[in-house]
Amino acid sequence: MQETYLCHKAKDLENHTIQQLKRLIEDADSFCITAHKSPDGDAVGSSLALAWYLKAIGKQATVVLPDGFADFLSFLPGAEEIITYEEHRERAEEVLNNSDLIFCLDYNHLNRTGAMQDVLAKEVGQKPFVLIDHHQNPADFPDVLISDTTSCSTAQLIYRVIDRMGDRDKIDQNAAKGMYCGIMTDSGSFRFPAVTPETHEIAADLIRKGADHAAIHRAVYDTNLLDRLRLVGYALSEKLVVMPEYHTAYISLSADELERFNYRPGDTEGLVNQALSIKGVNFAAFIREGNNQIKMSLRSQGQFRVNEIAAQYFNGGGHHNAAGGAVDAKLDDVIDTFREVVQKHRHDLNYEV
């Protein structure tokens, strides 16, 4: 294994970190870029952006994701070339095995890649791994580790790393679109506290490089299938539960309910934020039945740390105000546990934002 470098702020990346990364990239010809399961806009956008950069400097790059992504991200250049492990396992393993270097984007532990983690674990020590991420407590398996928990997105980190390597001019329109999408989606359209002046400066440069910010926003937020709209309407009108005395709201959906509305990945994106938007609510959750697991999205505003709740009760983690988890249990049991957790932390939730 190479020496591992940890950088808490990408803008403070030390020169030896950048030089180590540049050497690894120069010495490799083929790259596999991976991200977490249930990939969101930041995971898909940053992965594709890095792939376009690597191609621009004459390298081969393939994006391999654990499973499918939302249809509204299919507009991103290169999205049609992404290999999903869930659907094309043999091809995905071939790419992972034959690549010279593996990038791990937007996740801090291999177990965030679901069924793909065992294949990745076998490659650790056999070839270099580079992890670029903004979640807390990153694992120590990569050869180069760039972790900035203050960054609003991994896409912003990708920009900073490329910039520090002196290759900002290699960011073409295709890469710019991916980065802008990643920054926009993970920053809540630039409204979350992690957004800084630097974020806007980077976004401005990406627009100059050809990222059509209006078109990207429209593709992500203003393009819906009828089934998705009906599912969202049902969730808000029939499944939204408010616990006003605990400043909490949650939405739950069973597998049967999802199937009724022809659920696709991404159809429930943003539901948890709808619950959090209710006046007086400081803590919100979206709980859905998935593949033999109950998956959760947790959000808060203000001082309540949902990453600690996710880690302590729901086998998860994340950021201060945005986290998630997955539990092997029945949906009703997880809902009961969630309600018990809320009651246990009722004093922590009683504050004004």
Residue 1 in domain: no
Residue 240 DSSP SS3: strand
Residues 29 and 138 occupy one common structural domain: yes
Residues 83 and 182 occupy one common structural domain: yes
Residue 198 DSSP SS3: helix
Q: What secondary structure does DSSP assign to 69-90, as a single string? A: --GGGTTSTTGGG-EETTT-HH
CATH of the domain at 158: 3.90.1640.10
Burial per residue of 90-108, b for 16 or more beta-carbon CB atoms within 10 angstroms, e otherwise: eebbebbeebbbbbbbbbb
The number of domains in the chain is 2
More confident residue, 215 or 16: 215
pLDDT value of position 11: 46
pLDDT value of position 290: 87
pTM over 0.75? The answer is yes
Counting every residue written for the chain, the total comes to 353
- The domain of 165 spans 6-220
Among the candidates 220, 248, 283, a domain finishes at 220
* 140-162: pLDDT as tens digits: 999 999 999 999 999 999 999 99
Residue 205 in domain: yes
Return mean pLDDT, the chain.
94
Residues 280 and 183 occupy one common structural domain: no
Report whether pLDDT(4) > 60: no
Residues 207 and 258 occupy one common structural domain: no
* 63-88: pLDDT as tens digits: 999 999 999 999 999 999 999 999 99
Q: What is the mean pLDDT of residues 11-18?
A: 70
Biggest distance spanned by C-alpha atoms of the chain: 59
